[in-house]
Chain A
Amino acid sequence: DAGVTQSPTHLIKTRGQQVTLRCSPKSGHDTVSWYQQALGQGPQFIFQYYEEEERQRGNFPDRFSGHQFPNYSSELNVNALLLGDSALYLCASSPGFGGYTFGSGTRLTVV
């Protein structure tokens, strides 16, 4: 039974560029949440998708956007990258409420 799969595992981007990160939820899970974990910090909630719509959003600028597909997979897009966007981006899936499973994250470095 596959858990949460995130791709890519690492990537390097230049300031001002755009990036797309991908997440495939655990089988049977229909809800996907995204978190940003800066170095030395705990994860911070970006947003959550359910039924292909953004259900809740954390305190992140509009440069951060997302999408959920009919198969429940999700993408996180970040536009106009800043150096401060360098972080580990974690995806977590759940079967509605509770029972969250995290992926191993995508390490984004902005140079």
Chain B
Amino acid sequence: ELKVEQNPLFLSMQEGKNYTIYCNYSTTSDRLYWYRQDPGKSLESLFVLLSNGAVKQEGRLMASLDTKARLSTLHITAAVHDLSATYFCAVDFLGETSGSRLTFGEGTQLTVNP
């Protein structure tokens, strides 16, 4: 059974600081996704990481993937209040012809304090 674990689950940080959210998964996966969810809202796709060593950056967020370690990181640089949200990583294992079923981590609730 594929398991996805994130840590920390809760993160409170000051504006301007850097921090990293970790996502570990238990079995070989084809794809890793990062999503953002604001309170009461749906999920917004942030990154899709497709191969070992992949790194993607958007603004103050940078995601990386190490498939050998089964680990992805989401690094936050110089946090601002607008980044406060819950961040989910999700992985899928694709069959030869079958569809994707994402397995999600528990989410990391990030609060950036002024």
Partners in one complex: no
Where the two chains meet, the residues of B that have a C-beta atom closer than 8 Å to any C-beta of A are none
